């Protein structure tokens, strides 16, 4: 399995997997499929260029999973990175790709930020187990964090100090 940082040359594959995740798991992302599906390829290229986005490819050449690290630009916030956009396709689940992506994000984050935070749906037990195994701890639950089709969804907030 090949896990590396995406480049703008990967934008088409990134767009495809990103939209798949948003469409299939709307409660797993703050963004929505409806908001991003009409964005041009250049928008996804810019996202890759401006953020640390990592991908993992399967043996057949398919982009099987992605995860990113966002570092805020504000002086008072840039000590905390955010693991965002984590999605692993069903065919790649159980292969170790998810753990490899999280570790790649954390490796990149060391020396860049002091702490990495993330948000996860409380019913996504597999993701919560993955994040706990990587050393993340829950520090809050945000009620009504997302509203999808008139239904509210809570979010769990997790953090991992790097120092």
The predicted structure's pLDDT at residue 163? 79
Q: What pLDDT score does 65 carry?
A: 98
- pLDDT (0 to 100) of residue 1: 75
CATH code, domain with 9: 3.40.630.30
pLDDT score of 24: 96
How many structural domains comprise the chain?
Answer: 1
Instruction: Note down the domain range covering 15.
Output: 2-161
* Residue linked to tokens 């399995």: 1
What is the C-alpha separation between 145 and 28, in angstroms, rounded?
11
Ranges of beta strands (E only) in the chain are 2-5, 52-57, 63-70, 80-88, 115-120, 137-148, 151-161
pTM of the shown model: 0.95
Please report, in tens digits, the pLDDT of each residue of the chain (163 residues total): 789 999 999 999 999 999 999 999 999 999 999 999 999 999 999 999 999 999 999 999 999 999 999 999 999 999 999 999 999 999 999 999 999 999 999 999 998 999 999 999 999 999 999 999 999 999 999 999 999 999 999 999 999 999 7
Across-strand partners of 83?
69
């Amino acid at each position: 399995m090949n896990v590396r940082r995406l480049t703008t040359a990967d934008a088409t594959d990134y767009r495809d997997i990103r939209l798949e995740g948003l469409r299939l798991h709307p409660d797993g992302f703050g963004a929505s499929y409806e908001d991003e599906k009409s964005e041009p390829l250049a928008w996804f290229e810019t996202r890759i260029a401006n953020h640390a986005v990592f991908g993992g490819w399967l043996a057949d050449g398919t982009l099987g999973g992605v995860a990113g690290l966002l570092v805020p630009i504000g002086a008072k916030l840039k000590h905390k990175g955010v693991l965002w956009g984590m999605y692993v396709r069903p065919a790649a689940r159980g292969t170790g790709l998810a753990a490899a992506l999280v570790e790649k994000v954390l490796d990149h984050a060391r020396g860049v930020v002091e702490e990495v935070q993330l948000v996860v749906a409380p019913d996504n037990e597999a993701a919560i187990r993955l994040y706990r195994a990587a050393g993340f701890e829950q520090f809050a639950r945000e009620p009504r964090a997302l509203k999808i089709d008139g239904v509210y969804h809570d979010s769990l907030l997790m953090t991992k100090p790097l120092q």
